[in-house]
Amino acid sequence: METEKRFVPHGPKHSGRRPKEKTDYVVGIDTGGTYTDGVLMDYRTREVLASGKTLTTREDLSSGVIDVLRSLDIKNPAGVKLVGISSTLATNSIAENKARDVGLILVGYDRDLVRSFGLEKKFSAACHAFFDGGHDSQGNEKSPPDLEGIRKWVDENRDKVDALAVSSYFSPLDPSHEESVYREIAKICDLPVVLGHQLSTQLDSIVRAATACLNASLVAVMQEFIGAVKAALSELDIRAPLMIVKGDGSLMPYREAVRKPVETVLSGPAASAIGGMFFSDEKNALMIDVGGTTTDMAFIRDSQIAVSDEGARVGGIETAVKAGRIRTACVGCDSRIGVGERGNIAVGPDRVIPLSRLAWKYRRVHDEIMGLKDKKGLLVPGDVCYWTFPRPVDPGDHGISDPRTLRVINALNRGPASISGLIKELEVHHMVQLNADELFRMGLIEEATLTPSDLLHVNGKMDIWDADAARQAMLCVCRIHGKNQAAFVDEVLDHIVSMMVEEAVVFLAGQTERKKGDRLPDSVDGAWGRWLLGESIERKDPHLSIEITSRFPIIGIGAPAGIFVRKVAEMLRAPFILPGHAHVANAAGAVAGSVVIEKEAILYTRERGDSLSYMVQIDEKRMKFAEYGDALEYARRIVREDARRAAEDAGALAPVVSLKVRTEGALERISARAAGNPDISGLQTGCKG
């Protein structure tokens, strides 16, 4: 396979001073869809001492983490007191179908009801089964759990799955059936088992089961990732505790992340928001993070990420996971640029490799692209679209035997090839005849074509890879589609800004609480809506002027933020803030967050005959009271104590506890939130991680 040059876009960047021997340092790392970023910071002053950026190794995220750690050139590893990581691991594993197979055990669920409403599709389980048991809305046992049936089912399916999830009806009010099932499973197999009530106290039984199922599918994946990261830290002689960013931007110990990996969903955008707030010192703002794969938006309110009242959606599955209210647009610097039949521009949603980067890595690709200016005959899209393997492919490992697919594998194992080149080599007439669909489905092939990164090389805003190849590829695309070469770059970049403006308008308008029937749609719809938004951006109408103004400043995060987000702020007439170290603010956010623990008590009424009692359920603890006031006082006291103790155990320094009581139907939820900065003095002993 053709050799490639090492890629470190900006290399390690250092401040004016090198770390002192006795300073306490923290290391923040963010693994995004395209890049893995790292920062070395002075914990006391929060000064960024060094930063690094490497390509994310999508097939093995830990490799990119190791690369960026080495790029930071840490001279005194003993001085590192904390390592924080935000990762796309959970989200990508689900989206790319790399999560593990799960068997779902539903205790006390109505089989006919679930099936008649098609609710089974909400579970991401390889197999599932219904069993007797569960409780009612007052915490009364409906029937004893069918432990014998569950044992038999587990024994029959244990070799078909990698983990098990258990969800019992109304388990937040009484988790004893889930606990009983767990003990029975432990007697016959050693598969990881996730219990629904330990992840969520939501009464929505379907969402709770879906959350447990997703979490179980990620346990082994997260365990392997954490193991590889810890091995890398050990290799570099870094003995610091490891913290992981949750989807709401707070930090949790890595052991908790292994137990509840689903809580790390959306941790990347959350870390960006925390980093943007940290560097800008803004307490209320819209944060826009422009990456290679996506553009993410979060709203900062009173120095905290606005958290969604509804659980995060992951791969189309509704969960009970608390996460920041994040809006993700599938447009970034590595998005595919397309031109329609009528000349209309399309950017995204899929991510590809910029041609400038591929040509930078492979001299042959550079020569082929530069040679297109002398090509006789018509240029075709396949001339500027390449396929490549990120690593050599052995067809035997993937059960591939189709002769034509084998020829494609042989060709790409020699190095990247244009679609036109493959069509010619294999003597076929169309790319469909290359029989490469299976290779794409398995994620073996990566595609390279024209991207915004290439156009930024053309206009001189980027100078990392092969600008000559980028320019020639752009000229070829213009010739193929009859586009004006002089205006093409601005046309595409302006289109991207317009896409971001629309996303920002929809996102900001959605921050206002509205009744369910009055909620705005997820996109600007209708002819009037499209005209109003378009006119506010283009301002071309001779009779009317439309202005949409953001009431909040806009913080730009990511290396291209100064290019794109600046223009978005101009369009929305908002102050624009580009923080120092904006290109690695996401990595800084991985250590700038607080340790946050939430505990919740459920207080509900139980009627039995003429007697009335008040029940308080906190985790596995249940207490019965004759008086409501006594029950409420107990619930408030215990959740406050539990939250503070759990936060301290998780590494929080002097956590501040706040209480909230809210009514939900016939029950009350008493929640305590304990938050504090990581305790470096306590963490460095390694006793609390």
Ordered DSSP codes for 505-566: HHHHHTTS---GGGPPPSS--SHHHHHHHHHHHH---SS-------SS-EEEESTTHHHHHH
Residue 129 amino acid letter: A
User: What confidence tier does 417 reach under pLDDT thresholds 50, 70, 90?
Assistant: very high
For residue 311, pLDDT beyond 90: no
Give the distance, in angstroms, between the CA of residue 104 and the centroid of all CA atoms in the same chain.
Answer: 24
For residue 18, pLDDT beyond 60: no
For residue 11, pLDDT beyond 50: no
Give residues with Cβ within 8 angstroms of 524, minimum separation 6. 502, 505, 506, 530, 533
Q: Do the beta carbons of residue 419 and residue 5 sit within 8 Å? A: no
Q: What is the mean pLDDT of residues 374-389?
A: 93
pLDDT at 20 (0 to 100): 53
Domain-terminating residue out of 167, 201, 219 = 219
Domain presence at residue 660: yes
Give residues with Cβ within 8 angstroms of 549, minimum separation 6. 572, 573, 574
User: What confidence tier does 6 reach under pLDDT thresholds 50, 70, 90?
Assistant: very low
Q: State pLDDT tens for residues 534-564.
A: 888 888 888 988 889 999 999 999 889 999 9
pLDDT at 24 (0 to 100): 84
Q: Which two tokens stand for residue 584?
A: 């690695």
pLDDT at 95 (0 to 100): 65
Domain presence at residue 311: no
List C-alpha distances in Å: 401 to 406, 419, 431, 616.
7, 21, 19, 61
pLDDT at 685 (0 to 100): 39
Domain-terminating residue out of 402, 424, 444 = 444
Domain presence at residue 262: no
User: What confidence tier does 21 reach under pLDDT thresholds 50, 70, 90?
Assistant: low
Span of 9-23, 52-66, 478-492, 565-579 with lowest mean pLDDT: 9-23
Domain presence at residue 185: yes
Q: What is the mean pLDDT of residues 114-121?
A: 87
Q: What is the mean pLDDT of residues 636-642?
A: 97
Q: How many CA atoms lie within 13 A of 396 on its CB side?
A: 0
DSSP string for 109-169: --HHHHHHTTGGGG---SEEEEES--B-TTS-BSS---HHHHHHHHHHHTTT-SEEEEEET
- Work out whether strand 345-351 and strand 335-339 pair parallel, antiparallel, or are unpaired: antiparallel
DSSP state of 282: -
Q: Do the beta carbons of residue 213 and residue 123 sit within 8 Å? A: yes
Q: What is the H or E stretch that residue 222 is in?
A: helix 205-235
- 240 vs 596: CA distance, rounded Å: 20
For residue 320, pLDDT beyond 50: yes
Domain presence at residue 655: yes
For residue 572, pLDDT beyond 70: yes
Domain-terminating residue out of 219, 234, 253 = 219
For residue 442, pLDDT beyond 50: yes
- 410 vs 1: CA distance, rounded Å: 10
Q: What is the mean pLDDT of residues 383-405?
A: 93
Number of domains in the chain: 3
- What per-residue string of b and e applies to 532-562 under the rule 16 or more CB within 10 Å gives b? ebbbbbeeeeeeeeeebebebbbbbbbbbbb
Q: State pLDDT tens for residues 647-685.
A: 999 999 999 999 999 999 889 999 999 999 998 765 443
- Work out whether strand 326-329 and strand 317-318 pair parallel, antiparallel, or are unpaired: unpaired
Q: State pLDDT tens for residues 144-191.
A: 999 999 999 999 999 999 999 999 999 999 999 999 999 999 999 999
Q: Do the beta carbons of residue 382 and residue 342 sit within 8 Å? A: no
List C-alpha distances in Å: 50 to 39, 69, 276, 324, 580.
6, 11, 17, 28, 13
Q: What is the mean pLDDT of residues 267-277?
A: 90
* Residue of higher predicted confidence among 450 and 88: 450
Rounded to the nearest 10 degrees, how much is the dihedral formed by the CA atoms of 355, 356, 358, 360? Answer: 160
Q: Report H helices in 362-466.
A: 363-371, 403-413, 419-425, 437-441, 452-458
Q: What is the mean pLDDT of residues 331-353?
A: 92
Q: Which two tokens stand for residue 164?
A: 């098990």
Q: Do the beta carbons of residue 637 and residue 195 sit within 8 Å? A: no
Domain presence at residue 179: yes
Judging by beta carbons within 10 Å of its beta carbon (0-12, 13-18, 19+), is residue 23 exposed, middle or buried?
Answer: middle
- 179 vs 184: CA distance, rounded Å: 9
Domain ranges, residue 114: 102-219
Span of 44-58, 454-468, 480-494 with lowest mean pLDDT: 44-58
Span of 53-67, 147-161, 213-227, 492-506 with lowest mean pLDDT: 53-67
pLDDT at 4 (0 to 100): 37
What average pLDDT does the chain have? 89
Report the CATH number at residue 159.
3.40.50
Strand, helix or coil at 190?
A: coil
User: What confidence tier does 12 reach under pLDDT thresholds 50, 70, 90?
Assistant: very low
Q: State pLDDT tens for residues 585-637.
A: 989 999 998 999 999 999 999 988 788 999 999 988 999 999 999 999 999 99
Beta strands in 192-339 (DSSP E): 193-195, 242-245, 251-253, 285-290, 295-301, 304-305, 313-314, 317-318, 326-329, 335-339
For residue 571, pLDDT beyond 90: yes
Q: Above pLDDT 70, what percent of the chain? A: 94
Q: What angle do CA 238, 243, 246 make, to 5 degrees?
A: 155
Domain presence at residue 428: yes
pLDDT at 16 (0 to 100): 45
Q: Report H helices in 13-110.
A: 61-71, 89-95
Q: Above pLDDT 90, what percent of the chain? A: 61
- 634 vs 652: CA distance, rounded Å: 24
Domain presence at residue 79: no
- Work out whether strand 353-354 and strand 446-449 pair parallel, antiparallel, or are unpaired: parallel
Report the CATH number at residue 613.
3.30.110.70
